[in-house]
Amino acid sequence: MTVFAFMQDDHDNPLTRLSVAEVQALPFGAIELDRDGAVVSYIDTEPGDDAAAAVTRAGVDFFARTAPWAAQSMIRDEFRRGVDAGSMNAVFDCAVGDLPYKVRIHLKTSPILGTYWIFIKKLTRQ
């Protein structure tokens, strides 16, 4: 079994070694954004979601169109701070609207590609 740490001190990026099929099978969402917040690639966490819909998200503003719930939150604030600083590595948990679970958010820089990742992992609501 492969373990993805979701920890602030996780400096390795194991996603670079995965095939597209392996990335699509991850148990968490993986959204790659450019510095303006436009979606570069998008893997959803919801089983049964239409994979073709994920492809159409490329180029779309993540905060305005893909996840508007994140636009007025610390997620966008941390994203902007990390882009402005040129480095991003923050982990925090949050509740999202009426979802029956909390999520763990991990914002991470991809320095080689010049992009930024948002990983979203489902947690059990306490």
How sure is the predictor about 70, in pLDDT bands with cuts at 50, 70 and 90? confident
Look up the domain containing 92 and give its range: 20-124
What's the whole-number mean pLDDT along residues 8-25?
Answer: 61
Residue 2 lies in a domain: no
Q: Is 105:92 a contact under the CB 8 Å cutoff?
A: yes
Q: What is the pLDDT of residues 29-61, one digit of tens each?
A: 888 999 999 998 887 655 444 444 445 578 889
Residue 1 lies in a domain: no
- Tokens coding 91: 């982990």
Q: Is 54:43 a contact under the CB 8 Å cutoff?
A: yes
Inform me whether the pLDDT recorded for 14 exceeds 70. Answer: no
Q: Tell whether the torsion through CA atoms of 112, 17, 41 and 56 is positive or negative.
A: positive
Going by their DSSP bridges, the two strands 115-124 and 101-110 should be labelled as antiparallel
For the beta sheet containing 101-110, the strands, ordered from the edge strand earlier in sequence to the opposite edge, are 39-43, 29-33, 115-124, 101-110, 89-95
pTM score, whole prediction: 0.71
Residue 7 lies in a domain: no
Across the chain, what does the average pLDDT equal?
76
Number of domains in the chain: 1
Residue 4 lies in a domain: no
Residue 8 lies in a domain: no
- Here the CATH number for the domain that contains residue 68 is 3.30.450.20
Residue 93 lies in a domain: yes
